[in-house]
A and B are shown apart, each in its own frame.
Chain A
Amino acid sequence: MEMLQYALRKLITGIPLILGVTLISFLLMVYFGPDKTYDLIGKNATPEQIAEIRHQLGYDRPFLTRYLEYLKELVTLDFGYSDSTGERVSSILKRTIPISLALVLPGFVLGNLLGIALALAAAWYRGRWLDKLIMGGSVVGMSVSFLIVIIAFQILLSSNYGLGWFPVRGWNVYDFGDYLRYVTVPTLATVFVALGYNTRFYRAVFVEEMGRDHVRTARAFGTPPAELLFKHVLKNALIPIITRIMFSIPFVVISGALLIESYFGIPGVGLVTYDAITTGDQPVLKAVVGLTAALFVLVLILNDILYKVVDPRVSLK
């Protein structure tokens, strides 16, 4: 009961956040975004036709009316039709979000798991050569641009100039075998880039945990390393780990997928969003921005609740 009340209270505090996000992004897209009109007119359009299209797109209505309509759309989850293809926004999202999830999830999970494993090793052997090696590697990983990694991996693993093991691009997925073929290279690229950051972050967390008195004592008493790491270190480090993972979720789906999807030609939500930005497809943008903001708020709330579950000392007040 207390939990439910807490969640509801948090939900209400999330409303101004959603309002802020939608207002700022809507302002940007309406006043400064690309004008869709000129994508929709023919080679020899007349000023009259241009006015007609502007009217149909709703560009001639006052901002406030349009913003209120946006909020209504957000509440009813009905964003209408894409201005480019005419497809329902909801069916676009239904089609593309699963693809993006399938695409980024393996990389995300592996990147975090490997990051934690490497960080544990580094923290355990702090100051020794293994630690130095891992940390050096992670700085290198952090210093290579994602773009360079993607280009290099595609050439090395997919093209005929390299090994040519995987499809160069596309997403013809019908069964698990196809899925593995298409997801491997993007996953490797994501893991490569995420690993450096994750390892550093988790190492810092573990080093702090290992420095605590009870861990040091346990270590001194010869507690087996596995027990020590899992029981004392990992468990206590759970909060920062969970926070980091949860907060990356809303962005992994969109930002993380954007570069990969546009480079590999995968029809996920990142590509759709990027196209919507560059062509000014407002219904799609409204949906993506609104839903991301809502997801973000949801994560905030869940995170607070999880804190409570993991660590009862955190007050709900």
Chain B
Amino acid sequence: MSFHPFRLSLILWMALLAACSAGPGTDGLKIYRHSLGGRPTSLDPVQSATVYANHLVVNLYDTLYAYKYLARPYQLKPNLAVAMPEVSDDGLVYTIHIKKGVHFIDDPCFPEGKGREVTAADFVYSMKRHFDPKSRSQGSWLWAGKIEGMEAWKKAGADYDRPVAGLKALDRYTIQIRLTRPFPQLVHTLAQGFSAIVPREAVERYGREFSIHPVGSGPFRLQTFDSVRAVLVRNPKYRKEPIDLAYEGYDPERQARYGIARIQGKVPPLVDRLEIHFIKEGLSRWNSFTKGDEIQFASIPRELLDEVLLKKQPEVVLRARYAKKYFYTSGLENGFVHTDFNMKDPKIGYNPDPRRQERNHALRCAIRYAFDWAERNRTFYNDMGRVFPGIIPPVVPEFDPDASKESIRHDPEKARKLLEEAGWNAANLPVLTYGGVASVTSRQMFEQFRGWLTRIGYPKEKIQFDSYASFGDYNKAVKQAKIMIVGMGWGLDYPDAENTLQLFYGPNGSPGSNASNFDDPEYNRLYEKSSVMQPSPERTAIYRRMNRIVEDACVTISGLSRRYILLWHKNVVSYPDSSIVGGFHLKYVDVLPEGQEKK
């Protein structure tokens, strides 16, 4: 043979491989490729319950308030609102003015396809949607029973043309909210995707498909969206508000190294095209990140931490070969993981027989002493999580660093003693079922848990794994109070311990968020009392008392706040945050042209 078709085709093929593009018409555009560890299913604000959905929603829509880009601890700032709300002395009436001249994006749902101005009535409409059963709201619980006349409006058939007493547009640019009782966290809820502002025309035109056809007034508009990525492009009509770094809480000491100073005075959004890739598998995400020309933002998968990190404690330090290429930041998550006992289960929780109830208490405490937080932290959280006693996590201002650590102490001796004193032995101990999704990690967590319990003399065959094939099924079993030992994680909706304390408030029991079904009169009373209080030392004292009640009752093994490490390419100017500021940071992200990385 005189020619080599194989070699020829190989050459041809390599030539084709070299041609890489981001799509037609993207030459010269500034593109930033972000990534998230999961995917949103719906982009309808009323359904933006996950942190992923929230990331997109706050970029496609406007919210009245937002969090400052760089300030830590987090600080609220007006977004579409002109200023922070005017609040009446009794804390019940909020008056909010919104900016004039803000328009929705152009869309066929508007007359002649031109986006019209955003008005106070749009906010009223958007909030009402949460109480319309047809819109399948996942966020209505935030305001349920708190806005005057809302429940009555819903009962009367959720007719949008009927007014709600506590939610009015006083004029084109003024909103008034009247509450039934003080709700100090209200402004926080107005900075969430849930309260983003949608135009009625779009909801009515797109119907069910509104969830994938967003029409908002945010910094970006949606180009494509599927289960693996979303492509957003700059909204050219977005209001021009130059960045004032000092106002955003710029702290040169912590943030100068990221080159953030160079965005001062620029007008967001800073990139033309924002791609958000949804990648669940940590390693795939990492591989794509380290590839260079794919995603530009990721976190380090658990399995690679030792390889990537030089030091984990007290501060995270990257190895030189990674530090050369990537910026990084780390911190504690805004939330925590904990393992609850289901108090509705008479085998381990409340029991009509007071003697048994007492023995159950001893049993729960014994299991808690058998639980080895240090080891769990080492195996599943790379020894970087922060273990703290109770349910007030370190990220909220009410956290007590000096609290007793008894409830997170690992003491198998004491566990054995507790069992013995309460008359438990291998023969009469109840069968424990530990619920979880049928994933590798939750199975390993179960096996570790079982290993600890066998060490305090619990018979191995009496500890069973109750596995569910999907998270939805697991969630269903939790909501129906069917699981005995429930592994849970909670992400804070806003930085106030009220958001975690409500997890143990009796009336929030299943199907609410109180998965332990803990129902203690004293705790409930304190919760009700504190939930209408403004932040104060007095309120903090009540919070801490509630924390101790939960600890003393041994209803939960808690808790641990995971540490996150976020990395981004050096040609990206960013200060990312994965939860509270969340999607709000994306409009400030800038990308430098090639070769300009050096400061």
The residues of A with any CB-CB pair to B shorter than 8 Å are: 34-47, 49-50, 52-53, 56, 81, 84-88, 95-96, 158-160, 164-172, 174-178, 180-181, 265-267, 271-272, 275, 278-280
Contact = CB atoms under 8 A, between A and B. Distances in A.
Contact of B138 (A41, A86, A88, A271): A41
Interface string B108-147: 0000000000000000000000000110111111001000
B287 A168 contact: yes
B290 interface: yes
B210 interface: yes
Interface of B: 13, 16-24, 41-42, 44, 47, 49, 133-134, 136-141, 144, 208-212, 226-229, 277, 279, 281, 284, 287-288, 290-291, 294, 469-473, 475-476, 479, 502, 508, 511-513
Contacts of A159: 287
A41 B141 CA distance: 10
Given A85-B212, A168-B287, A177-B17, A43 B49 contact: yes
A49 B471 CA distance: 20
Q: Is the interface of A mostly helix, strand, loop or mixed?
A: loop
6 contacts: A38-B472, A56-B133, A158-B287, A181-B16, A265-B281, A275-B227
Nearest to A53: B136
A180 to B, nearest CB: 5
Contacts of B470: 34, 278-280
A177 to B, nearest CB: 4
Given A39-B475, A159-B287, A169-B284, A47 B16 contact: no
A176 to B, nearest CB: 7
A174 B294 contact: no
A45 B138 CA distance: 8
B284 A265 contact: yes
A170 B229 contact: yes
Contact of A178 (B21, B41, B44, B469): B21
Contacts of A42: 49, 137-141
A181 B44 CA distance: 34
Contacts of B471: 39
A89 B24 CA distance: 27
Contact of B512 (A45, A52, A87): A45
Contacts of A34: 469-470, 472-473, 476
A158 B479 CA distance: 42
Contacts of B226: 95-96, 267
A86 B22 contact: no
A164 B291 contact: yes
A81 B208 contact: yes
Given A44-B513, A168-B291, A266-B228, A175 B19 contact: yes
Contacts of B294: 167-168, 170
A39 B472 contact: yes
Given A87-B209, A174-B21, A181-B17, A47 B511 contact: yes
B472 A50 contact: no
A267 B277 CA distance: 12
Contact of A50 (B144, B511, B513): B511
B17 A43 contact: no
B472 A35 contact: yes
Nearest to A50: B511
Contacts of B209: 81, 86-88
Given A81-B208, A84-B41, A167-B294, A271 B227 contact: yes
Given A52-B133, A169-B284, A170-B229, A85 B472 contact: no
Closest 8 CB pairs of A and B: A86-B211, A44-B141, A42-B138, A177-B19, A38-B476, A168-B287, A177-B16, A278-B470
Contact of B44 (A86, A95, A174, A176): A86
A37 B20 contact: no
A176 B511 CA distance: 51
B511 A46 contact: yes
B287 A169 contact: yes
Nearest to B502: A44
A154 B471 CA distance: 27
A178 B23 CA distance: 9
B534 to A, nearest CB: 23
B130 to A, nearest CB: 9
B513 A176 contact: no
Contacts of B208: 81, 86, 88
Contacts of A45: 141, 479, 511-512
Given A56-B136, A95-B226, A165-B17, 20 more contacts: A34-B469, A41-B138, A45-B512, A49-B133, A56-B133, A84-B41, A86-B210, A87-B211, A164-B291, A167-B291, A170-B277, A170-B288, A172-B22, A174-B23, A176-B16, A177-B17, A267-B228, A267-B229, A271-B227, A279-B470
Contact of A43 (B23, B141, B279): B141
B288 A168 contact: yes
A158 B141 CA distance: 46
Contact of B472 (A43, A158, A280): A280
Nearest to A81: B208
Contacts of A158: 287
Most buried by A among B21, B284, B469: B284
B140 to A, nearest CB: 7
Contacts of A52: 133
Nearest to A45: B511
B467 to A, nearest CB: 13
Contacts of A87: 209, 211-212
Contacts of B469: 34, 278
A177 B20 contact: yes
Contacts of A166: 17
B291 A160 contact: yes
A46 B141 CA distance: 9
Nearest to B229: A170
Contacts of A43: 49, 138, 141, 512-513
Contacts of B227: 267, 271-272, 275
A38 B475 contact: yes
Given A42-B49, A42-B138, A174 B24 contact: yes
Most buried by A among B41, B137, B291, B479: B41
A88 B206 CA distance: 11
A118 to B, nearest CB: 16
B269 to A, nearest CB: 21
Nearest to A179: B16
Contacts of B290: 160
Nearest to B16: A177
Contacts of B508: 44
A40 B284 contact: no
B282 to A, nearest CB: 12
Contacts of A171: 228
Contacts of A172: 22-23
A271 B278 CA distance: 13
A50 B210 CA distance: 22
A180 B17 contact: yes
Contacts of A53: 136
A8 to B, nearest CB: 38
Contact of B136 (A40, A180, A271): A40
B476 A37 contact: yes
B213 to A, nearest CB: 9
Contacts of B139: 42
Contacts of B136: 40, 53, 56
A110 B373 CA distance: 53
Nearest to B134: A56
Contacts of A168: 284, 287-288, 291, 294
Contacts of B475: 38-39
Contacts of A164: 291
Contacts of A50: 479, 511
A140 B41 CA distance: 41
Contacts of B502: 44
